[in-house]
């Protein structure tokens, strides 16, 4: 997830999944599903992001120009 648009798309899909859960299992199940999946996605985002912008630029440069 590199951009806000990608995160917005993912959260839109998550809301759709929660709406289906609400229709099938009730609003409590939908709320719990939304909470769990949102926390996991944000946790992964924050744990996997580079520590600094210079490190991110270096990593992108290394992977882009490596043969």
Domain ranges (residues) in the chain = 4-65
Cβ partners under 8 Å of residue 14, min gap 6: 34, 37, 38, 41
Residue-level pLDDT at 55: 55
pLDDT value at residue 59: 54
Q: What is the mean pLDDT of each run of 10 residues along the chain (67 residues)?
A: 76 88 88 88 82 58 56
What is the structure's pLDDT at 45? 81
Q: Quick one: how far is CA 41 from the chain centroid? A: 4
Q: State how far Cα 4 lies from the chain centre.
A: 10
pLDDT in tens, 28-46: 888 888 899 889 988 888 8
């Amino acid at each position: 997830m590199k951009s806000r648009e990608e995160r917005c798309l993912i959260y839109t899909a998550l809301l759709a999944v929660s709406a289906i859960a609400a229709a099938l299992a009730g609003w409590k199940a939908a709320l719990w599903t939304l909470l769990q999946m949102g926390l996991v996605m944000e946790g992964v985002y924050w744990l996997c992001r580079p520590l600094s912008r210079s490190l991110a630029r270096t990593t992108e440069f290394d992977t882009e120009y490596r043969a």
